[in-house]
């Protein structure tokens, strides 16, 4: 039995612990030292409590003695529980004091939000379960508090000139109401941040930047502003999360999922609803939603159709509550991370930027129009050198089993983690280190393989030769264990605006990859086909090659425009390539593919400089287009090529649907 001193210690600890935990969050500033920001009695209490935890006492001396015992005395257990709770309270209170909070912080806590630190903020990682929230977004819709992200305003007569230097895309090619994904680099070609630029007017822009990076971005902008080239220029930079003028305060929320548009119609006027229904992707406008004025954009970070809202911080809670009242569930960071990983969207610091300084091209972003290489942006030369010499590639992989060559995901229960070693077989059949895992999560689109879903991950491969979809990889787990995985095509799941996803066809990928694992790839036999005439190749060989090509896509988006797949060019006898220019900025090419499952390729811009495309009409069925018209889709392209090959109609009727199943299922290869 413990003595009187021990009982007194328990009482003192409980007394000071409760007072300390309740008082501490209200008395600590975010920047202040934990002890300096507290009144004297609580400073004394904190010091005394810390002293109890580190100095010997009769009670504390019992802990080593009881460490290996199955039972503890009630009083000793009570004492240790008090100390543990006190330590936990101190850690929680101190952490909360050092973290920033969003306007919705109290709402999250009163609605079962499990709060965690993220990007310098206290944010909800989940409310019910990550899986339930992920499923809600994939099947219906979900509401995200992303107000931890920064909104940087750049305005003034020279704002466009300034942004053309600091951003990788020329903002003078954008019209008011346009959005553009791009990057910010320093002089050494190191990533400052990735951003979405919103053009409000020729002299007014907003940049949404990653959580916790507003200060870094603004500091960088101020350094650039101080350079001689901007001396005397009219440029104003402000962080709208903490705006100098409170009336300018702005934050961002997101609504994502296939039912998003229909649900918004319940809280919007007919006029405003018609306006957002007809919006093009990557555009924004001012509307009223649930009685709240918002800037709404057709953007998101989930791989689903959705919108994001920029609104005044005073309106966040009523706006949020109105959408929650529609039955829309709140979604935490856990599900958001799972959604973005499945959609091949890279996380800054893990899959992109950070260490080991992964470039846009390595991350799979190099050919998506986020960088205008004709623009004189800061860091261009250094970045160009890095991209030129790089052979690395970030890919998504899906874990297929615990044994080589098998498709049995349930046999591999361990989730790959950051830093796990990735191997592939060399020419001698030996497993060699070829990369490392960067992030991981669970994917539930694989019905028929596993009820619980399949583990997916992003992997940095040191040689892009191993990045071919279907490539088998070995992932080393702790204690000498292994799982096996397949490389997925980029943007394997993408159900955004203008795209559709056929999950049944997507699930065929694993079986196709397994069936071909032990067979020589058709590409190896015909690796030089694009340099040779298509004459002399048998029909069976051509069809085999097309089956292989169906794992990728008939077209790539390249820096200069739209380029036919080498296999397609070989069959059609094409010289490479097609260039489409945006008439607003002749040096810039904007090519947007609506997705292989859609009607065709949506092209923004005219065809004045696209004679090569027009010359393809004879075999590909492509028609002249103006502004926002639609080209013939992949089916027409393949059908014309098959006709050129002389495939009999009866065979074509059998082969074409099978090939299109592969083509429509897989998204673009960057």
Q: Is 362 helix (H, G, I), strand (E, B) or coil?
A: helix
Geometric angle at alpha carbon 338, from 336 and 344, rounded to 5°: 100
* Residue 306 contacts residue 263 (beta carbons within 8 Å): no
Question: What is the per-residue pLDDT for 98?
Answer: 83
- φ, ψ of residue 251 to 5 degrees: the values are -135, 175
Contacts with 115 (C-beta within 8 Å, 6 or more apart), sequence order: 105, 108, 109, 122, 123, 124, 125
Question: What is the per-residue pLDDT for 59?
Answer: 32
Question: What is the per-residue pLDDT for 586?
Answer: 36
Q: Is 627 left (phi over 0), alpha (psi -120 to 50) or beta?
A: left
* Residue 434 contacts residue 417 (beta carbons within 8 Å): no
Contacts with 439 (C-beta within 8 Å, 6 or more apart), sequence order: 337, 341, 347, 350, 351, 418, 457, 458
How far is residue 93's CA from residue 620's CA, in Å, rounded to a whole number? 65
How far is residue 654's CA from residue 652's CA, in Å, rounded to a whole number? 5
The continuous run of DSSP H or E covering 122 comes out as strand 121-126
How far is residue 187's CA from residue 509's CA, in Å, rounded to a whole number? 42
Q: What is the pTM of this model?
A: 0.67
R_g (Cα) of the chain, nearest Å:
29
Q: What are the extents of the domains in the chain? A: 4-98, 150-248, 391-513, 520-665
State how beta strands 472-476 and 482-487 pair.
antiparallel
Got the DSSP string for 150-203?
A: EEEEEESTTHHHHHHHHBSS-GGGSPTTBEEEEEEE-TTS-EEEEEEEEEEETT
Residues of the chain with pLDDT under 70: 1-97, 498, 505, 513-670
Closest by CA to 549, choosing from 582, 532, 526, 577, is 526
Q: In whole angstroms, how far apart are CA 212 and each of 26, 99, 121, 179, 186?
A: 23, 10, 8, 22, 18
CA 633 to chain centre: 28
Contacts with 227 (C-beta within 8 Å, 6 or more apart), sequence order: none
How far is residue 553's CA from residue 584's CA, in Å, rounded to a whole number? 29
Q: For the domain bounded by 391-513, which CATH number is listed?
A: 2.40.30.110
Residues in the chain: 670
Would you tell me how many other CB atoms lie within 10 Å of the CB of residue 356?
Answer: 11
Question: What is the per-residue pLDDT for 640?
Answer: 53
Domain 150-248 CATH (choose: 3.40.50.2000, 3.30.460.80, 3.40.50.11740, 3.30.70.1400): 3.30.70.1400
Per the listing, tokens 């986020």 go with 370
How far is residue 394's CA from residue 358's CA, in Å, rounded to a whole number? 8
CA 533 to chain centre: 42
Would you tell me how many other CB atoms lie within 10 Å of the CB of residue 31?
Answer: 8
Question: What is the per-residue pLDDT for 36?
Answer: 28
Closest by CA to 490, choosing from 344, 589, 312, 597, is 344
Contacts with 382 (C-beta within 8 Å, 6 or more apart), sequence order: 185, 187, 188, 189
Encoded tokens for 614: 């027009």
Question: What is the per-residue pLDDT for 77?
Answer: 33
Q: What's the pLDDT tens digit per position in 8-33?
A: 444 444 444 444 433 333 333 322 22
Question: What is the per-residue pLDDT for 354?
Answer: 86
Helix extents (H) in 34-158:
40-54, 62-66, 74-98, 105-110, 130-139
Residue 520: DSSP 8-state: P
């Amino acid at each position: 039995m413990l003595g009187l001193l021990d009982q007194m210690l328990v009482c003192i600890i409980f007394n000071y612990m409760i007072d300390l935990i309740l008082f501490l969050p209200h008395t600590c500033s975010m920047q202040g030292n934990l002890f300096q920001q507290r009144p004297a009695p609580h400073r004394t209490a904190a010091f005394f409590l810390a002293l109890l935890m580190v100095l010997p006492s009769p009670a504390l001396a019992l802990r080593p003695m009881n460490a290996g015992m199955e039972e503890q005395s009630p009083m000793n257990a009570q004492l240790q529980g008090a100390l543990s709770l006190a330590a936990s309270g101190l850690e929680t209170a101190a952490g909360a004091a050092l973290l920033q909070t969003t306007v919705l912080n109290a709402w999250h806590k009163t609605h079962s939000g499990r709060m965690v630190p993220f990007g310098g903020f206290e944010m909800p990682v989940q409310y019910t379960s990550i899986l339930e929230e992920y499923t809600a977004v994939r099947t219906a819709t979900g509401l995200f508090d992303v107000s931890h992200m920064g909104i940087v305003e750049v305005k003034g007569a020279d704002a466009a000139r300034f942004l053309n230097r600091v951003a990788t895309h020329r903002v003078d090619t954008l019209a008011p109401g346009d959005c553009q994904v791009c990057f910010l680099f320093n002089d050494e070609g190191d990533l400052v941040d990735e951003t979405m630029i919103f053009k409000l007017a020729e002299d007014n822009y907003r940049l949404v930047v990653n959580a916790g990076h507003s200060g870094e971005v603004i500091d960088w902008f101020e350094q650039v502003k101080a350079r001689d080239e901007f001396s005397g220029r009219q440029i104003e930079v402000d962080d709208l999360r903490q705006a100098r003028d409170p009336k300018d305060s702005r934050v961002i929320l997101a609504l994502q999922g296939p039912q998003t548009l229909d649900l918004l119609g319940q809280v919007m006027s007919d006029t405003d609803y018609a306006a957002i229904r007809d919006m093009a992707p990557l555009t924004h406008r001012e509307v009223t939603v649930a009685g709240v004025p918002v800037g709404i954009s057709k953007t998101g970070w989930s791989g689903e159709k959705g919108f994001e809202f920029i609104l005044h911080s005073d309106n966040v809670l009523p706006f949020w509550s109105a959408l929650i009242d529609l039955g829309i569930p709140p979604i935490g960071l856990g599900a958001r991370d799972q959604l973005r990983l499945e959609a091949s969207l890279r996380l800054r610091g893990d899959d992109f930027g950070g260490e080991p300084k992964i470039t846009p091209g390595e991350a799979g972003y190099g050919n998506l129009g986020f960088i205008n290489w004709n623009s004189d942006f800061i860091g261009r030369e250094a970045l160009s050198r890095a991209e030129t010499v790089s052979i690395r590639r970030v890919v998504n992989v899906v874990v297929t089993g615990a044994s080589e060559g098998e498709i049995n995901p349930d046999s591999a229960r361990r989730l790959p983690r950051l830093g796990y070693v990735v191997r592939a077989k060399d020419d001698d059949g030996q497993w060699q280190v070829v990369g490392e895992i960067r992030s991981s999560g669970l994917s539930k689109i694989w019905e028929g393989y596993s009820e619980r879903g399949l583990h997916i991950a992003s992997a940095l491969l040191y040689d892009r030769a191993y990045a071919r979809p279907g490539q088998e990889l070995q992932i080393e787990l702790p204690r000498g264990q292994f799982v096996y995985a397949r490389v997925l095509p980029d943007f394997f799941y993408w159900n955004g605006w203008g795209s559709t996803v056929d999950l049944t066809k997507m699930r065929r990928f694993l079986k196709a990859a397994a069936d071909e694992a032990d067979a020589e790839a058709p590409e190896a036999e015909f690796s030089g086909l694009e340099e040779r005439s298509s004459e002399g190749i048998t029909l069976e060989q051509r069809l085999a090659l097309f089956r292989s090509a169906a794992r990728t896509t008939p077209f790539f988006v390249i820096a200069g425009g739209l380029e036919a797949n080498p296999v397609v060019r070989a069959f059609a006898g094409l010289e490479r390539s097609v260039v489409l220019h945006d008439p607003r900025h002749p040096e810039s090419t904007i090519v947007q593919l609506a997705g292989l499952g859609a009607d065709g390729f949506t092209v923004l811009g005219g065809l004045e400089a696209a004679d090569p495309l027009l010359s393809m009409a004879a075999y590909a069925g492509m028609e002249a287009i103006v502004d926002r018209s639609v080209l013939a889709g992949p089916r027409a392209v393949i059908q014309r090529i098959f006709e050129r090959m002389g495939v009999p109609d009866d065979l074509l009727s059998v082969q074409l649907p099978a090939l299109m199943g592969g083509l429509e299922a897989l998204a673009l290869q960057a």
